[in-house]
């Protein structure tokens, strides 16, 4: 049983190593790096086999070396490198008949495998596993026969079994594992691609809807103004509508651009009070229009780091929603404070509020309850900015009772 136990140990170690390599390979985006990692695995595997080598009879060493050599050649195409490595390792065990048999077998094998590599890659999953197993068994048989010719025949039945069966099992398991993981990677890539295509089609729908429509309206008004003369107040009304439409288009473009690149181009100190005051000033016309009373309770000197314009964009979207949730008046409270090294920003409205389901969908692209008026992009952008600044958001909302957004950022400096 000694030999079987030894080889089974070797087998388990090869599989454990394989799992770890495949985990790393999977996380590598670049294909050439993946291939190189795969090759490293087989080199390491050959080395492991020699650690586990066992002398069954005088000068005859058994191990699983043919498995990484064969599979490595089939999967990576580096058959000569692997053959030479195998032989060098075998050389350490002693230059004797067994060694020369290995030289002949592995050199011939390297030539064969080199030619088989492109063909092997075109096979189906099951065929590849099958070919790996068959080649391993054939190599084992040839090796054992040749050793028997030049040396004493191997009598041990157990040796026969372990030298044929366990390598075949190892080849099957290793190649099956590689194939399954490859398959998952391919499926995941396909999904990512489908996602991207969906995003592009959404984007084009959004562009035609949110940007072309306003442009058409503006163009219409400009044509009217050119073709006829209108009284001053009519002209002003046209221009106001046109400006509103352009504002909306600009908003959508801003959201898309911010979302597409939430990573910061420059990191600067953000004085929370200053930026939020500016956001509130920008949104003041909307607050007045809706009859909302704005309360500011700022703690002075709270600094966090990030990109100022993005921070503003994020809070414009958030506070604009709060104002829009109070179409017939209410109260907006924007409060900031510090606990430990955490800067808190609380935005509270007394608006329409949201159900649990609505809160859960917040930030989903194109999720809006505002019909034609909404884009469903605002919160998505806000969340992506807060995430990029490593902030945390907590939302409390009740239909009819208003909404509170509680955002936490870690602050490095307090003035």
Note whether 414 and 365 are within 8 A (CB). no
Taking residues 376 to 415 in sequence order and writing x for each that binds Mg ion by CB under 5 A, - otherwise, the string is --x-------------------------------------
Task: Return the one option of Mg ion, ligand ADP, none that residue 369 interacts with (CB less than 5 to 8 A, by type).
Answer: ligand ADP
Cα–Cα distance measured from residue 238 to residue 222, given in angstroms and rounded to the nearest whole number: 8
Task: Return the one option of ligand ADP, Mg ion, none that residue 368 interacts with (CB less than 5 to 8 A, by type).
Answer: ligand ADP
According to DSSP, residue 154 is labeled: P
**Across-strand partners of 413?**
303
Cα–Cα distance measured from residue 66 to residue 122, given in angstroms and rounded to the nearest whole number: 23
Residue 130 or 376: the one with the smaller Cβ distance to ligand ADP is 376
Nearest distance from C-beta of residue 184 to Mg ion, angstroms: 38
Note whether 292 and 258 are within 8 A (CB). no
Task: Return the one option of ligand ADP, Mg ion, none that residue 59 interacts with (CB less than 5 to 8 A, by type).
Answer: none
Taking residues 307 to 346 in sequence order and writing x for each that binds Mg ion by CB under 5 A, - otherwise, the string is --------------x-------------------------
Cα–Cα distance measured from residue 266 to residue 383, given in angstroms and rounded to the nearest whole number: 19
Q: Which of 66, 73, 313, 375 binds ligand ADP (CB under 6 A)?
A: 375
Task: Return the one option of ligand ADP, Mg ion, none that residue 307 interacts with (CB less than 5 to 8 A, by type).
Answer: none
Residue 209 or 219: the one with the smaller Cβ distance to Mg ion is 209
Residue 113 or 362: the one with the smaller Cβ distance to Mg ion is 362
Residue 352 within binding range of ligand ADP, rule CB under 6 A: yes
Q: What is the largest CA-CA distance in the chain?
A: 114
H or E element that contains 316: helix 308-324
Residue 174 or 323: the one with the smaller Cβ distance to Mg ion is 323
Token output for 111: 């030539």
Segment near ligand ADP (CB under 6 A); pick from 29-37, 101-109, 148-156, 361-369? 361-369
Burial of 401 (0-12, 13-18, 19+ CB in 10 A): middle
Q: Which of 217, 290, 376, 396 binds ligand ADP (CB under 6 A)?
A: 376
Q: Exposure pattern of 116-136 as b/e (b: 16+ CB <10 Å)?
A: bbeebeeeeeeebbebbbebb
Residue 210 within binding range of ligand ADP, rule CB under 6 A: no
Site for ligand ADP in 261-320 (CB under 6 A): 317
**Alpha helices for 207-271 (secondary structure H):** 213-227, 232-260
Distances (CA, A) of 398 to 239, 326, 356, 392: 39, 14, 8, 20
Nearest distance from C-beta of residue 366 to ligand ADP, angstroms: 8
Nearest distance from C-beta of residue 193 to ligand ADP, angstroms: 26
* Contacting residues toward ligand ADP, per CB under 6 A: 317, 321-322, 325, 349, 351-354, 358, 362, 367-370, 374-380, 403
* Contacting residues toward Mg ion, per CB under 5 A: 321, 378
């Amino acid at each position: 049983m000694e030999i079987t136990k030894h080889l089974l140990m070797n087998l388990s170690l090869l599989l454990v190593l394989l799992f770890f390599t495949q985990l790393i390979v999977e996380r590598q985006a670049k294909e050439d790096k993946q291939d190189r990692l795969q090759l490293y695995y087989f080199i390491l595997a050959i080395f492991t086999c020699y650690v586990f080598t066992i002398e069954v009879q005088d000068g005859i060493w058994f191990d699983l070396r043919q498995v990484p050599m064969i599979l490595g050649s089939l999967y990576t195409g580096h058959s000569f490198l692997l053959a030479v490595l195998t032989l060098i390792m075998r050389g350490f065990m002693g230059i004797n008949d067994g060694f020369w048999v290995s030289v002949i077998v592995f050199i011939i094998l390297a030539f064969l495998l080199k030619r088989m590599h492109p063909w092997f890659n075109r096979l189906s999953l099951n065929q590849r596993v099958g070919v790996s197993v068959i080649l391993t068994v054939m190599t084992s048989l040839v090796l054992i026969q040749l050793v028997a010719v030049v040396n004493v025949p191997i009598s041990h039945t157990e040796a026969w079994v372990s030298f044929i069966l366990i390598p075949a099992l190892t080849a099957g398991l290793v190649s099956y594992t590689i194939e399954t993981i490859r398959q998952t990677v391919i499926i995941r890539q396909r999904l990512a691609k489908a996602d991207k295509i969906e995003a592009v089609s959404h984007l084009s729908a959004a562009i035609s809807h949110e940007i072309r429509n306003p442009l058409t309206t503006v163009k219409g008004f400009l044509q009217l103004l050119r073709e006829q003369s209108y009284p001053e107040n009519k002209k002003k009304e046209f221009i106001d509508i046109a400006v509103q439409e352009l504002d909306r288009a600009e908003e959508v473009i801003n959201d898309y651009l911010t979302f597409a690149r939430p990573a910061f181009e420059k990191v600067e100190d953000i004085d929370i009070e200053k930026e939020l005051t500016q956001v509130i000033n920008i949104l003041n016309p909307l607050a007045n229009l809706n009859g909302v009373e704005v309360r500011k309770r700022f703690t002075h000197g709270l600094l966090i780091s990030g990109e100022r314009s993005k921070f503003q964009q994020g809070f414009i979207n958030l506070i604009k929603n709060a104002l829009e949730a109070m179409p017939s008046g209410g109260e907006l409270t924007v409060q900031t404070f510090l606990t430990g090294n955490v800067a808190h920003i609380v935005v509270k409205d007394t608006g329409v509020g949201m159900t649990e389901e609505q809160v859960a969908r917040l930030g989903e692209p194109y999720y809006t309850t505002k019909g034609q008026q909404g884009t469903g992009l605002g919160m998505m952008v806000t969340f992506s900015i807060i995430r990029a600044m490593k902030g945390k958001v907590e939302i409390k909302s009740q239909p009819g009772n208003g909404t509170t957004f509680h955002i936490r950022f870690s602050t490095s400096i307090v003035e």
